[in-house]
Structure 1
Amino acid sequence: MNHDHGMEGMAPPPQLTNGTSGMHQHKMMMMMHMTFFWGKNAEILFSGWPGMRAGMYALALIFVFVLAFLVEWLSHSRLIKPGSSNVSAGLVQTFLHAMRVGLAYLVMLAVMSFNGGVFLMAVAGHTLGFLLFGSRVFKKNTEVLSYDKTSDLPPMSC
C-alpha cells in the first residue's frame, strides 16, 4: 500500500548553506510594513536607505518631494519650440514622456514604503507643482487654460 499521497518523485526542500531548510529562512529577513506607519526607520526606494539617521530620512523626504514636483513640472511644461520639425519635436516629446513616467513610478514606489511622511511629501510635491505650473493662480486671464495648449505632454491617466 502506497502512503505517500502522490508525493513520489518530488524533491525535498532545498537546503541552505548553513544546513537549515527553507522554512527557517524567514528569521533572517526584515519585515515590510503593509500599513501606514510613522517614523524615520524606513526603507525608501533602495535597500538600507535612508538608514537609521534622522538626517538621511529628511533627505529622503526632500528627494520624494522633488520627484513629485518634477512630475508636475514635466506635466505642465512647454519645452518644445514652436516651428520645430515633427521628428525632433516627437523625439523630445517621447523623451519627456519617458522622464515623467519614470519619475512618477519612482514616487509611487517610494509611497509603497507605507511611511506616512513619504506619503505626505509626495502629495505636497504634487500639490505645490500643480499650484505653480498647472493652476490658474499664476496665469494671466488671457491665457488659454486648455491642457492641450499649455503642455507638450497630454495629461497623465491611470
Structure 2
Amino acid sequence: MNDGGHMHGMAAAAPGSSNGTMNMMHRRHMMMHMTFFWGKNAEILFDGWPGYDHLGMYVLALAVVFFLALIVEWLSHCNILRQTSASDRSASAGLLQTLMYAVRIGLAYLVMLAVMSFNAGVFLVAIAGHGIGFFLFGSRAFNKQSVSSGKPSDLPPMNCC
C-alpha cells in the first residue's frame, strides 16, 4: 500500500522487471527503522554495513561504536599538551587544541549517527563505551592528580552543566 510516497510492507516491481520478488526483498532491507529494535540486520553509519545475516560483521560494528565512544571520552579528559605558560598561549598549541576538539566532536557525531540506526545493541554499546571511558579517564578511580590540583583537560567538557 502506498502512503504518501512511502511503501509499507510491500514493494512494487520495477518497470520492465520480471523478478518482482527480488525487488521486494531488496526494498525490505532498505527500510529505515524509526523505533528501537533488536537484531543484527541493521545499517550502521554506512550503506550496507554491517550487512544482513552477518553476525561477525555486526559484532565488529558494535566494537567500532564502542571504541569510538571510548575515544571520545579519552579525548574529553586527556592532558596531552604540556603545561607551560609560554606554550599555553602559542598559536601552535591553540591549533593543536582546536584540532583535538574537532576530532572529538567528529567522533561524537559518528557515535550519535550510529545510535540513530535505532538498533538497541548499538545504543547499549555506545552507552557502555561512554560509561567505561568516563570510568577509566574521567572518574576519580584512576585519576592520578589530586582533586585540589585543578588542572583541567586539554578540551572543554562535553556536558552543558
TM-score tier by shorter-chain length is 0.7 to 0.9
1:3 aligned partner: none
Describe the superposition over 1:93-127 as per-residue Cα deviations: whole angstroms up to 9, x where unpaired. 00000000000000000000000000000000000
Greater strand proportion: 2
Q: Distance in 1 between matches of 2:59 and 2:149?
A: 36
Residue aligned with 2:43, SS: coil
Q: Post-superposition shift, 1:143?
A: 3.8
1:54 aligned partner: 55
1:10 aligned partner: none
1:50-129 correspondence to structure 2 within 5 Å:
50-52=50-52, 53-83=54-84, 84=87, 86-129=90-133
Residue aligned with 2:49, SS: coil
- Per the normalisation by structure 2, the TM-score is 0.76
Residue aligned with 2:93, SS: helix
Q: Distance in 1 between matches of 2:45 and 2:96?
A: 28
Q: 1:68·1:126 contact (CA, 8 Å) conserved in 2?
A: yes
Structure 2 unaligned segments of length 5 or more: list them.
Answer: 1-13, 17-23
Aligned residues: 135
Q: Distance in 1 between matches of 2:78 and 2:47?
A: 33
Poorly superposed stretches of 4+, deviation over 4 Å: none
Q: Distance in 2 between matches of 1:37 and 1:31?
A: 13
Residue aligned with 1:79, SS: coil
- Determine if the alignment matches structure 1 residue 153 to structure 2 residue 161: no
Residue aligned with 1:32, SS: coil
1:38 aligned partner: 38
Q: 1:144·1:150 contact (CA, 8 Å) conserved in 2?
A: no
Q: 1:38·1:115 contact (CA, 8 Å) conserved in 2?
A: yes
| Greater gyration radius | 1
Q: Distance in 2 between matches of 1:65 and 1:145?
A: 31
Q: 1:76·1:134 contact (CA, 8 Å) conserved in 2?
A: yes
Q: Distance in 1 between matches of 2:159 and 2:116?
A: 19
Identity %: 65
- Determine if the alignment matches structure 1 residue 130 to structure 2 residue 134: yes
